[in-house]
Amino acid sequence: MEKNIEEDANPNKLKQLLEEFYKLEGNNMPEKRKRLNHYIIKIKQNIRDDQELSAFTKMLKTDDIKQQKLKIEILLQLRRNDQLLHMLKEADLISTAKITTNLIFLSDMFSQMKCEDFFKNIVPFIPFSATEKIINRLVKVLTDEDLAEGYFEANNDQI
């Protein structure tokens, strides 16, 4: 039997958090960053169940580039790597650039994914420029020599 998220949570909790997402603003970048960080802390305090967190982040709909960037930042901070990979495959160039510059996400992705899977399931679906950025960042994020060698060998096989 699948767990109903609303049974465990305050029925208005997710709705309230969603409303706050759409109201995130600030007069300048430091103020916006501060509000975003407070919002992420609030999410972590109110949503502790992984299934509920996944449902919440999937409910974040974006209407413009600003909201898209905020959503990506939230997903990065909450380490929702599956959703980020999905966005990477479907995203526009701005979103792709934001995701591919996050070294923590890339490090997590490379350590959790086999080399062959990366080149078969990710590379064909993302823009070439994003693939190039990711491969260039391999040097910064891969600390395991065997894993790094596997990625570079798999990359050479794909070329």
Query: pLDDT tens digit string along 34-71?
Result: 999 999 999 999 988 888 898 899 889 888 888 888 99
- Which structural domain range is residue 31 located in? 1-78
- Residues 71, 130 within the same domain: no
- If asked whether residues 117 and 64 sit together in one domain, one would say no
Mark whether 59 and 133 lie in a shared domain.
no
Residues 52 and 100 in one domain: no
Q: Is the pTM value of this prediction over 0.85?
A: no
Could you tell me if 53 and 96 lie in one domain? no
Q: Which helix (H) or strand (E) holds 15?
A: helix 13-22
Are residue 92 and residue 71 in the same domain, yes or no? no
Q: Which of 114, 110, 159 is nearest to 134 (CA)?
A: 110
Name which of 83, 58, 64 is nearest 25 in CA terms: 64
Total tally of structural domains belonging to the chain: 2
One domain, residues 73 and 92 = no
Percent of the chain whose predicted confidence (pLDDT) is above 90: 19
